[in-house]
């Protein structure tokens, strides 16, 4: 079931609640019973990638404040310190986004 809450679309299923932005950023927050997940697509480059990561940073701040949980980054393999790590994570995200067209063909297949 989809509903809209303050510019976020909410989809509720048996296992989780997904919150999606309707503005094309592709940022999604998934709420499960014992964890939260924030996902970001790799289609943003340059300034757009940094802006999206700033948005993610604000979401993480709210989620940490409201739940008391710490953020774990599976790509880093450790807890995320927003003050220290997000600039590096943003740079890595932008780098991967910029390299992605060369890694994947236009039809979604691996480039040769």
**Cα(103)–Cα(110) distance, rounded to whole angstroms?**
6
Q: How many of the other CB atoms lie within 10 Å of CB of 55?
A: 16
Please check the confidence at residue 94 and state whether its pLDDT lies above 80. Answer: no
Please check the confidence at residue 87 and state whether its pLDDT lies above 70. Answer: no
Mention every residue, 6+ apart, whose C-beta is less than 8 A from residue 14. Answer: none
Region 40-47: mean pLDDT is 81
**Cα(47)–Cα(5) distance, rounded to whole angstroms?**
27
Q: Tokens for 30?
A: 């998934």
- Please report the pLDDT score of residue 23 as a whole number: 84
Global pTM reads 0.67
Confidence of residue 18 (pLDDT cuts 50, 70, 90): very high
**What is the average pLDDT value for the chain, to the nearest integer?**
75
- Please report the pLDDT score of residue 8 as a whole number: 81
Least confident piece of the model among 30-34, 52-56, 93-97: 93-97
Burial of 5 (0-12, 13-18, 19+ CB in 10 A): exposed
**Cα(81)–Cα(85) distance, rounded to whole angstroms?**
5
**Cα(72)–Cα(49) distance, rounded to whole angstroms?**
20
- Please report the pLDDT score of residue 29 as a whole number: 92
């Amino acid at each position: 079931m989809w509903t809209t809450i303050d510019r976020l679309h909410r989809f509720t299923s048996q296992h989780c609640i997904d919150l999606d932005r309707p503005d094309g950023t592709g940022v999604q927050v998934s709420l499960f019973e014992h964890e939260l997940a924030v996902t970001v697509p790799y289609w943003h480059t340059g300034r757009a990638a940094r802006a999206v990561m700033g948005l993610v940073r604000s979401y993480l701040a709210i989620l940490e404040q409201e739940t008391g949980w710490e953020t774990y980054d599976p790509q880093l393999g450790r807890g995320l310190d927003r003050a220290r790590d997000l600039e590096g994570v943003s740079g890595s995200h932008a780098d991967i986004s910029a390299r992605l067209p060369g890694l994947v063909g236009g039809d979604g297949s691996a480039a040769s």
